[in-house]
Structure 1
C-alpha cells in the first residue's frame, strides 16, 4: 500500500459478521452497573465496569497501558464520520473515545491504532520513537516537536501506512493467553483491519477478559466495541481457546495478536 486512496478502492471487501448469542461464563455485568441512556456516564476507560470477581491487572505508571486506561470518553455515544455525519451502524460501540478524527478520510482502521500509540509517545516526549513503517521504509517524526507539526505528521502517516504495513512492523504474540494492554489484533491487507486492546482484567482463577476499540472506514471516531456474542459480559471479551475473535464488524483469528 502506498496511499490512502489506494486502500479506499478496496473498501467493498470489508464486511460485517453475523454473530449468534452465547451464554456468559463469568459473573454478569448487571443492568445497574451499565448505563442504558443515550449518554455515556464513564469519563475514561478505567471507569468501565467489570463483571463480578474481576479486577484490572496491575500496570506500570507512565506505561502505554496506563495511558490507554486513562483515555477520556465522550458523553455522546454516537460515532461520527470525518465529515460530521453519523456512522450508519450505531450498534457496534459501547462508548466513544474523546480523540478527534480530523476532517479528512484518513484516520481509519490501523490508523486509529497508530494514533493511540503516537499520542502516548508524544505525551511522554519520546519523540524519536514516533515512527511508522510503510512499504518503502520509515516515516519518522522530526522537529519541531509541537502539536501542529505532530498533526501534519500523522496525516502523512495515515496516507502512507495502513494495516498491511503495520502488521509487518508489529511483533507476533504466539500465545493469545498472554494478551497485554496495548496489544493489537490485526489482519494486514487491502483493506485489512485492526483493533486496539484497551484494558485487561483477571479473576482469582487466572481467567482474563479484555476491552477492544476500533476505528473503521470511512474515517470515524475511535470507539469501544460491544461484545455481540455475550451480552452479559459486554463490552468485555473473554480470553479462551477459540480460534476466532468475532467483533461487531470484523472476525479475526486468535493468531493475529501483535505487540509493539
Structure 2
C-alpha cells in the first residue's frame, strides 16, 4: 500500500514546517501443533519463546541456513516477538482482528501516529539493525522527492527543512545519538518515504539467490512490501523455505505472516512458489525481490 502521494507530501511538508491474526491455538501447553508437514511429522511452535528462531521449528528434513555473526540475517532471525497469541495493534490502540493473516506479532513500538505502515516497518528493521551495531553512517533513506535523509547528519544536530519542491539541512539541535533522537529521525523518514522511494533504493536480486533480509516490494499507490525474516534448506534436496513479515495500512505492528497457500507448511513458504507469491494481503511476482 502507498499512504503518500505528491499532494500528501506537500501537505505533510506544511505540517512539518509548522511543528517540526493469529489463529486460536490451545494455550494450555508449552509446545503446540500448528500444522502437519506429512502424515508423521508436524511443525511445532514453542509458545514460551520470544524470538523467531526459538519459537518456530523448521520442517522435517530442513535446517536453518547459516548466517554470519552480527549480520542482518542474524538480527532478523532473532527478532523479539510478543507473547504467543497476542493480536496486532493499530497505532490508535485498536486490535487487528482479521483472521488468517499472521501467526505472531513483533515486539515493536509504532507510536500513536499513522506512520508505521509496510515500507516503514521494513526500513525500521534495517535501521534498528544498523543502529544497534553502531553503523550510523549507513542509516539513510530517500524521501519520495529524491532527497537523501542521512542519520549521520541528524545525530550531529542537523534537521531537515521540507519544502514543496525541495528539502535542505539546517542546524537545529545539539548533537545527540540517543535512541529517542534516532526514533524521531525514523518518524520523519516514515512521513516522507514510501514503497515508491524504497523500491528505487533497493537492488533487484534473482529469486534463487534469496537471503534473509530481502524484500518483496511493489512501489505505488497502492503498493506493498514484505521482508524475508528467516530461511531454511532441506539437507537432502536443497529445497529452501522462508518466512515473511509485514506491516500494513493503517499503521500497525509488524507481524509474521501465515502461508495461505499451504497450511501444512505455514508459516514457512516454499521458494518454489512459481511466478507469483500469494501472501495473505498481497500478491507479488518473483521479479519483485530486492535487497538493501
How many Å apart are 1:219 and its aligned residue?
0.4
Question: Please, what TM-score do these two structures have when normalized by structure 2?
Answer: 0.77
Question: Please, what TM-score do these two structures have when normalized by structure 1?
Answer: 0.86
Q: Of the candidates 198, 219, 240, which is equivalent to residue 208 of structure 1?
A: 240
Counterpart in the other structure of 1:17: none
Cα distance change of structure 1 residues 32 and 226 upon mapping to structure 2, 3 Å threshold: closer
Distance (Å, rounded) in 2 between the aligned partners of 1:250 and 1:132: 24
Distance (Å, rounded) in 2 between the aligned partners of 1:29 and 1:235: 18
Counterpart in the other structure of 1:132: 141
Q: Of the candidates 141, 166, 179, which is equivalent to residue 210 of structure 2?
A: 179
Counterpart contact for 2:36–2:42, Cα < 8 Å? no
Cα distance change of structure 1 residues 2 and 139 upon mapping to structure 2, 3 Å threshold: farther
How many Å apart are 1:29 and its aligned residue?
9.3
Cα distance change of structure 1 residues 192 and 50 upon mapping to structure 2, 3 Å threshold: same
Tell me the matched-pair count: 239
Q: Could you list the runs of 5+ residues in structure 1 that have no partner in the other structure?
A: 8-23
Structure 1 ranges of 4+ moved more than 3 A: 1-5, 24-32
How many Å apart are 1:102 and its aligned residue?
1.2
Distance (Å, rounded) in 2 between the aligned partners of 1:99 and 1:211: 18
Distance (Å, rounded) in 1 between the aligned partners of 2:245 and 2:40: 19
- Equivalent runs, 1:209-228 vs 2, <5 Å: 209-228=241-260
The answer on 1:56 being equivalent to 2:61 is no
| Structure ranking higher on relative contact order (CA contacts 8 Å, 6+ apart) | 1
Counterpart contact for 1:73–1:96, Cα < 8 Å? yes
Q: Could you list the runs of 5+ residues in structure 2 that have no partner in the other structure?
A: 10-34, 156-175
How many Å apart are 1:87 and its aligned residue?
1.3
Report the secondary structure of 1:116's partner residue: helix
Cα distance change of structure 1 residues 26 and 238 upon mapping to structure 2, 3 Å threshold: farther
The answer on 1:44 being equivalent to 2:54 is no
The answer on 1:146 being equivalent to 2:153 is no
Q: Of the candidates 37, 44, 48, which is equivalent to residue 33 of structure 1?
A: 44
Distance (Å, rounded) in 2 between the aligned partners of 1:155 and 1:112: 11
Distance (Å, rounded) in 1 between the aligned partners of 2:135 and 2:178: 13
The answer on 1:259 being equivalent to 2:269 is no
How many Å apart are 1:42 and its aligned residue?
3.2
Counterpart contact for 2:42–2:59, Cα < 8 Å? no
Q: Of the candidates 89, 95, 120, which is equivalent to residue 98 of structure 2?
A: 89
How many Å apart are 1:146 and its aligned residue?
1.1
Distance (Å, rounded) in 2 between the aligned partners of 1:32 and 1:123: 32
Higher CA-based Rg? 2
Counterpart contact for 2:62–2:234, Cα < 8 Å? yes
Task: Describe the superposition over 1:124-183 as per-residue Cα deviations: whole angstroms up to 9, x where unpaired.
Answer: 01111110012232011121211111111011000000100000000001x211110010
Report the secondary structure of 2:187's partner residue: helix
Report the secondary structure of 2:82's partner residue: coil
